[in-house]
Amino acid sequence: MSQTTETGTRESWFWGPYSRLALIVFLITLVLDQAHKWWMLEIYGIADKGRVYINPFLDLVYVKNIGISYSLFDQESYSGQIMLAAMAAIATLALWLWVARSGGSKLLAVSLGLIMGGAIGNAIDRLVLGGVADFFSMHAFGYYWYVFNIADVAIVAGVIGLLYDSIVASRKDAAKPL
């Protein structure tokens, strides 16, 4: 299904004014995440090195997360990993429709592209590795934060972008006369 907009451009349910930007960000995020995971596991061999000290606040370590954020909903079985990957794929499709169907903004497209790239990057890990490969361990003064990867950073950055876009958009709407 497609429609013609006021500017004469054709848009469909699956392609909108910022879809190209979102797709580029999605692909860059996905490639960076998967390339980094491949390098860490296959070239650097992090799984055999244990904890690698980087600085007083950051170590490298290999952890396979079989759940979602903070290891919630742990799924040791492969069918559980397939279920979590399928949920990520469905969420990504919903986010893609959001990009395509909304008038949105460039920031919205970049933010959703980051979230989609991170979600699919982690979903690929689930299907290939049986869990998500995490490497970065941040800590300070004996307190260890969770271990994360580039996909997780992209998802968090995307959510921050969405929040910022939401606040800026609501302020602009509030400033408009009725």
- Mapped onto helix, strand or coil, the DSSP state of residue 64 is strand
- Rg over alpha carbons for the chain, rounded to the nearest Å, is 19
Catalytic residues: 134, 152
For residue 174, pLDDT beyond 60: no
- Summarize pLDDT for 108-130 with one digit per residue, the tens: 999 999 999 999 999 999 999 99
Place of tokens 């994360």: 148
Quick check: 149 and 36 in contact, CB under 8 A?
yes
